Structure 1
């Protein structure tokens, strides 16, 4: 029997901002079991709103600086965990980057097991305006020895009342996420996927492997991202924020602070659970118990009446893991319900042992918390399968027969919108636009 595989999956809404690499690295492996000193065999990262829309839609070298910081964070976190004797070594190889618009998936493997990767597949679909990638999903599927692993990064429709739209986004992801094979020997660490149409695309294999969708027999699927399901169907009223739980509350429990909702009362209204239980979204998937606080929407606020300054400490049990300015504290945004937008779910035909599922500390660069899951997969043993594995043979929706033409058309629209946004919304684009206008006028 093959040795167990240790998997680590992290999702983060970047809010179109460059991360603080060292700070992110310091907390990257927070979802590993306590006491464990080993590194995961495979790391998958799901990113949403990875960069401003102009850079995201143009892709290629425009988003490289944003992605490189995550690559660096993974290596720094790994070296820190291994100890100083590993110096500047890179413990991981980035196997593939797959991007559709503002949603990106990245998969890393330990360098020691890279040669065990038999093949790589990639898929991508936009579900935003005109099927563009302001919202959407990307997939990376690999065969590691005889074990197939599928990682999906997704970003669904926002706003409290858009439950039906999120469910429709899920349906369109299942229908449009079709995997094609990537040449494992020619996939470049900084490339976009075959599905994105970006620069430096990896070469396609000439293999006649059959195309497959998100659901596939005998595989493990981990699906995560900013799924945007909220805890209310309507926006808060002007004074509703006074009833929100305190941002410093870390765990779901039954206690109700005076005049406020408890986190457990919010959790009872979680739309993802409600929709999943009646079979309207993420069909067949399961989720570890959620014991962490809402992951959205946080803001920093100057101290005022009723505000509580968060202690200046790096203690992971409090919210302030990046020092705030004097007199600032973390607060909930008043116009959004605190919600568990960022989630990770899974379904596995193999024996799968989910280990830790938790949120990471806040960073001022985003209004979301990152969320991570660690798990052990025992290949060749289906006795401990997770989720409704029968659905792997019987997907809830058929594949879109026109998926390739639809994605190509959407990609053309992304380039047009990206170029227009670049000219009007970026400083460098403004200079180009002024030069063009000046050339016409003078």
Structure 2
């Protein structure tokens, strides 16, 4: 998984995402049999924040989408190669904006028309080489104004993925606008569930601002509801992605609705937690960073402190078998071994407030800059300035110039939740990209997916159904009575149920649940053999008359019982 706040910008031409999303080739451990072959991950989930500018038009009227396509194309080039990306994303086409900035379109008609061909491709019946089709396929995408989550699955793993759903929770202005909030995707890998959350929480580095972020987390956990959001699959930017997503099986989620209901979740994003200002000064933080000392900064990290105090990410029981890393309330974060991810001069590796390399002046400490490090300009849309992460810009104060100096902090994070210890973190890294004032982060996980033995499960279900049917049958009263034997002419016989020489003392009634009833029959033979002859003549050719019949006792909802009565 990866997270990147891109400050409302598309990727620069020729941007290489390998330092962020390609670390499994060089840095991260490979896991044989992980689903993609060659040590590649089976699932790649990429979250963006501020993927479009957080202005009034995008927040209130509807969100632009051209940056989404540009970043999807960059991901595709990293995963499948430039040639494949160029074929799938031939031109930048702006999709119409949507109210409240939510993507909620269904697959296009063209995509649905091609679905039959894709199904053959997914199950391995296509003659087209796998490499030509690309190693990865996008199966889900969800946008909430500037927050965007794009999920890709390897073609080798694709037949075993089902139940893809998405939803979003807005926590921005008034608690319901989408300048802040989260987008969520869940899917089933074999028979194991996985929830992915990409969040952008409230900004601010003043003491007490962390409480607003805590409240954002609580709202996302409380209001995220996949069942309520079930509906059309969101539109995907690449035609092949729309086809692949539409072809996946629906899966079964039962009553699992929220983030932690499934027991397995990854939470990534610009969580905006800073350093506690009373715990470490800006000057001391920079001094420790120049000396390569991270521990003094980590001790002042707001998120670590809030989790330790149980004020955030503490809604579920802790997993006693969890591995290393910060672990509170079932949520945990791996050890942070990289420098803070915010705030940089865009295009450099220099924190805002530090002098640029080769510069002897201190102008970097006082220059007035915008989000991208360029001179600040204001417009009528700046009234919503608090939607971005420039903390000192207050809503409603048009023309306020933000202070450019920010104490370096780990705003960009990855946490995970695993109630059954099925999810294990393999690596946690900062990507050295310079397209934004943030550095991206990425993490590698191993999901120990479960797969049920379908034949055994079906046999157990059949046995359970039979047991239930038997219990239900025993719990019902049984009505019984004698019925006439079937006619040899295959017509309804309304004759007597018993011959005249056979009488049922108890021949009909109700058996109570779990009870029994004794039947009593009388054979009417009086006067010896002559008497019997008077009741029933001997069969043709028979030397001796005999009494012989089969009485049919019918038990409603229980079948027929056959009683043979014979006398000579």
Q: TM-score, normalised by structure 1?
A: 0.64
- Mapped pair 1:127 → 2:171: yes
C-alpha distance in 1 between matches for 2:355 and 2:187: 51
C-alpha distance in 2 between matches for 1:50 and 1:178: 24
State how 1:1-400 maps to structure 2 within 5 Å.
Answer: 9-20=1-12, 22-32=14-24, 33-34=27-28, 36=30, 38-53=39-54, 54-55=57-58, 58-59=61-62, 62-63=64-65, 65-79=66-80, 89-130=133-174, 131-161=176-206, 162-180=209-227, 188-190=235-237, 209-210=254-255, 212-217=257-262, 219-233=263-277, 242-245=283-286, 255=291, 262-283=293-314, 284-299=330-345, 307-309=356-358, 335-348=405-418, 349-363=420-434, 365-380=435-450
C-alpha distance in 1 between matches for 2:190 and 2:353: 57
Question: Aligned with 2:311: secondary structure?
Answer: coil
Task: Tell me what 1:425 maps to.
Answer: none
Question: Aligned with 1:223: secondary structure?
Answer: strand
C-alpha distance in 1 between matches for 2:230 and 2:237: 14
Q: Deviations over 1:222-265 (max 9, x none)?
A: 001000110124799xxx6554426985xxxxx57xxxxx4321
**After the TM superposition, which of the residue ranges 156-165 and 115-124 deviates more from structure 2?**
115-124
Structure label with greater radius of gyration: 2
Question: 1:279, CA displacement in angstroms?
Answer: 0.8
Query: Structure 1 pair 124/79, CA: closer, same or farther in 2 (3 Å)?
Result: closer
Question: Aligned with 2:168: secondary structure?
Answer: strand
Greater relative contact order, per chain length (Cα 8 Å cut-off, separation 6+): 1
Q: TM-score, normalised by structure 2?
A: 0.51
Q: Deviations over 1:136-168 (max 9, x none)?
A: 011100012201111000011111120111111
Structure 2: gaps of 5 or more residues: 31-37, 85-128, 239-244, 315-329, 360-372, 374-402, 452-568
> Contact 1:154/1:225 (CA < 8 Å) preserved in 2?
yes
> Contact 2:144/2:170 (CA < 8 Å) preserved in 1?
yes
Query: Structure 1 pair 128/89, CA: closer, same or farther in 2 (3 Å)?
Result: same
C-alpha distance in 2 between matches for 1:289 and 1:228: 18
Question: 1:308, CA displacement in angstroms?
Answer: 2.6
User: RMSD in angstroms over aligned alpha carbons?
Assistant: 3.8
> Contact 2:264/2:422 (CA < 8 Å) preserved in 1?
no
Q: How many residues align?
A: 323
> Contact 2:333/2:416 (CA < 8 Å) preserved in 1?
yes
Query: Structure 1 pair 133/91, CA: closer, same or farther in 2 (3 Å)?
Result: same
Question: 1:169, CA displacement in angstroms?
Answer: 0.8
> Contact 2:163/2:252 (CA < 8 Å) preserved in 1?
no
Question: 1:307, CA displacement in angstroms?
Answer: 4.3
C-alpha distance in 1 between matches for 2:416 and 2:253: 28
Structure 1: gaps of 5 or more residues: 1-8, 192-200, 250-254, 257-261, 311-323, 325-332, 382-442
Q: Deviations over 1:183-223 (max 9, x none)?
A: 79x654239xxxxxxxxx999x8999546111114x32000
Query: Structure 1 pair 88/266, CA: closer, same or farther in 2 (3 Å)?
Result: same
Q: Deviations over 1:166-188 (max 9, x none)?
A: 1111111111111137579x654
> Contact 1:231/1:270 (CA < 8 Å) preserved in 2?
yes
C-alpha distance in 2 between matches for 1:202 and 1:57: 30
Query: Structure 1 pair 293/43, CA: closer, same or farther in 2 (3 Å)?
Result: same
Question: 1:14, CA displacement in angstroms?
Answer: 1.2
C-alpha distance in 2 between matches for 1:109 and 1:362: 24
Question: 1:50, CA displacement in angstroms?
Answer: 0.9
C-alpha distance in 2 between matches for 1:357 and 1:296: 17
> Contact 2:288/2:296 (CA < 8 Å) preserved in 1?
no
Query: Structure 1 pair 89/246, CA: closer, same or farther in 2 (3 Å)?
Result: farther
Question: Aligned with 1:23: secondary structure?
Answer: coil
> Contact 2:199/2:271 (CA < 8 Å) preserved in 1?
yes
Query: Structure 1 pair 124/75, CA: closer, same or farther in 2 (3 Å)?
Result: same
Query: Structure 1 pair 235/68, CA: closer, same or farther in 2 (3 Å)?
Result: farther
